[in-house]
Structure 1
């Protein structure tokens, strides 16, 4: 059985008109003899009647709500979306089976609000596909060992789609969004940003972790375990978008052989914290941050200096905790992280070109770090967009045939 999983995000199922575009993609797949499993998100975005954030606002913020109960509430958006979407499919003569996450066999742990998938038992999906049905699965949710509804956290519908793709050994997982595919940079910042037609799992994970929001990295990591190809596509277009697959497959196509940098992305609203003093490097400041749920990044430790970043929203709390320990941190608010992501492991000169590009625009690098596939630079928030444009230009990412 040739199976295709297609996930449609909130904007793709928001109106009858956008849902019709989604239905047309399903019908195209059926015409190619695919058996189709559809994963839907809640309809629309923040402020729309049935979006997840809107449902959460139904509860008075001053009233206590148990995490288990919140998961029941948050799962309603996908339930509404699935039923509405299925009815539109039936209006065009299709047989449809609608399943909740639990009914689809998605078993999770009991961490309400951010559950992890433990296993998928897809028998009910396979039975419906064998009967010629389109299966519509409510994204973002599963079932705990106790039989409770759980939700999968940020990017949960993407995770549902790729996990089902792995469990069903799908030919592809299509992630439909309101953009054409993965871009070399945010097109709102860089006018000549281009779509990347092929990219590796590692590259897209790095782009997603560093600020690109087209697909959640956890979903990519799940697909990578069984090498299930992902296509990031636009609901409004018939283009096949960006293909995400393993490095060997991509390199075999001779597409990436001279592409060392894949894209540039950014994360704003960051505060840099520095603590200086003799022997400060021996203090376990990061245990203190973790104990209070503060995520840290951009870590630099030396015997007499520790520097790291936190989200602006956590900065005041982090500073208070340090002062309670008798420390007096130096704070640099209004920063941003600009990330250069690529396939340049062992390639000399990448950092030199980054410094040259930013220096030519008068942009100071406040802190930097690197891994095998990503180099991060901390800059002032006011200079973030200029930094992204300078780096995009320096590595020729706007040029034709770069991908």
Structure 2
């Protein structure tokens, strides 16, 4: 049995016309000899009647903070509604289809309501339906705990559902259908010559997704990577081939080639962050001070990023809306923090960065020529990050995209 997992986002199922296009993609897979497992997101986006954010906002008007368990019950409804509508569409076309909730599909999670992690997948129910010749539609974004409590998987959870099912069913491919034709070298809204990437590695797309690219959730990529299940990012509304996500280095030749020609893959960005600066140079026990700083943030459930620990002090970033809270906590701990609000993190991502001299020089050159001041920088084997003022973010992305010849 050749299993193909197809995931369709909320915009793909938001109207009868679009659902017909989805049904055509599923029918094509059947004709090609696949047994499709179709994962669906809630219909539409915030403001649409059955979107997840719409359900959340309904309750916000009643209570400032609702119990997370009950909120998961509510938030799981959007995907179930979407699944019923799509299953009915398929049946109307003469296709034998069945809808399963996340729990019925065998997705077992921990009990972290609102952002649950998948513990395992028990695919027996899905396999029974596939062997009977049915198309299996699965409500994404949800699972159940060991004792049967409904959970949701956090933002991007339907991508995670698709990846987990792909691994559990040993699928040939995982196709993620969206309203764009693939992963691009930069946000096309701010870079005119941004282009679609034919192939990227798992590591590259994970870093692009973590740094702001929103085409696929990084957790989904990390799951698929465990079994080297290829992912294809495609558009529901066209026949474009999309972007292949695989373990292979892009541009890898057959035979003698051992490295790809492409140093950088894309430019991503994360706006609306604040840099926090905590001087520790005059504190006698700096090691203890560092422990207090990060323990204070952790106890307040503040996720810190872009961390730099130096003899002079500690630097890190937090979302703008948490900056005031972070500063107050640090002051209560006896520190004298300062903050730089309204920043943005710009990232240069590429599997070919590691060990290549001159990449940082090119980055600094491009930003300097563009008049963009670097507030902080860091790097890994696949990514170089720079912190800039938010007002310089678009200029920085455009300058780096041009410098690294990503539009050609």
Quickly name the TM-score band, shorter chain normalised.
over 0.9
Partner of 2:87: 86
Q: Is the 8 A contact 2:249 2:259 kept in 1?
A: no
Kindly provide the CA deviation profile for residues 273-327 of structure 1, in whole angstroms up to 9, marking residues without a partner as x.
1122424543121111111011111111112221111110100000111111222
Q: How many Å apart are 1:64 and its aligned residue?
A: 5.1
Partner of 1:185: 186
Q: Is the 8 A contact 1:279 1:303 kept in 2?
A: no
Classify the secondary structure of the residue corresponding to 1:173.
strand
Q: Is the 8 A contact 2:250 2:262 kept in 1?
A: no
1:95-110 to structure 2, matched below 5 A, reads 95-110=96-111
- Give the Cα separation in 1 of the matches to 2:65 and 2:324: 25
Q: Is the 8 A contact 2:199 2:250 kept in 1?
A: no
Q: How many Å apart are 1:58 and its aligned residue?
A: 2.2
Classify the secondary structure of the residue corresponding to 2:147.
coil
The partner residue of 1:338 within 346, 363, 374 is 346
Classify the secondary structure of the residue corresponding to 2:58.
coil
Kindly provide the CA deviation profile for residues 137-196 of structure 1, in whole angstroms up to 9, marking residues without a partner as x.
000001101111111111100000010000110010000011110000000010000000
1:166-315 to structure 2, matched below 5 A, reads 166-247=167-248, 251-252=252-253, 257-280=260-283, 281-282=286-287, 283=289, 284=291, 285-315=293-323
Q: Is the 8 A contact 2:109 2:117 kept in 1?
A: yes
Q: Does 1:327 align with 2:335?
A: yes
- Give the Cα separation in 1 of the matches to 2:258 and 2:7: 27
- The alignment's TM-score, normalised by the length of structure 1, stands at 0.96
Kindly provide the CA deviation profile for residues 235-270 of structure 1, in whole angstroms up to 9, marking residues without a partner as x.
111122000010368625679721010000100001
Q: How many Å apart are 1:62 and its aligned residue?
A: 2.3
- Give the Cα separation in 2 of the matches to 1:342 and 1:77: 36
Partner of 1:14: 14
Q: How many Å apart are 1:61 and its aligned residue?
A: 4.2
Classify the secondary structure of the residue corresponding to 2:267.
strand
Q: How many Å apart are 1:63 and its aligned residue?
A: 6.0
Partner of 2:29: 29
The more displaced of 53-62 and 200-209 is 53-62
* Runs of 4+, deviation exceeding 3 Å: 252-256
Q: Does 1:366 align with 2:375?
A: yes
Q: How many Å apart are 1:65 and its aligned residue?
A: 2.7
Partner of 1:68: 69
- The alignment's TM-score, normalised by the length of structure 2, stands at 0.95
Kindly provide the CA deviation profile for residues 85-130 of structure 1, in whole angstroms up to 9, marking residues without a partner as x.
0111111110011100111111111111111111111111111111
Q: 1:189 to 1:5 in 2, by over 3 A?
A: same
The partner residue of 1:356 within 365, 370, 379 is 365
- Give the Cα separation in 2 of the matches to 1:322 and 1:391: 35
Q: What is the root-mean-square deviation of aligned Cα atoms in Å?
A: 1.5
Q: How many Å apart are 1:67 and its aligned residue?
A: 1.4
Partner of 1:42: 42
Q: Is the 8 A contact 2:280 2:314 kept in 1?
A: no
The more displaced of 114-123 and 37-46 is 114-123
Kindly provide the CA deviation profile for residues 38-92 of structure 1, in whole angstroms up to 9, marking residues without a partner as x.
0000000000000001111222342653211111111000110000001111111
Classify the secondary structure of the residue corresponding to 1:113.
coil
Unaligned runs of 5+ in 1: none
- Give the Cα separation in 2 of the matches to 1:10 and 1:302: 45
Aligned residues: 399
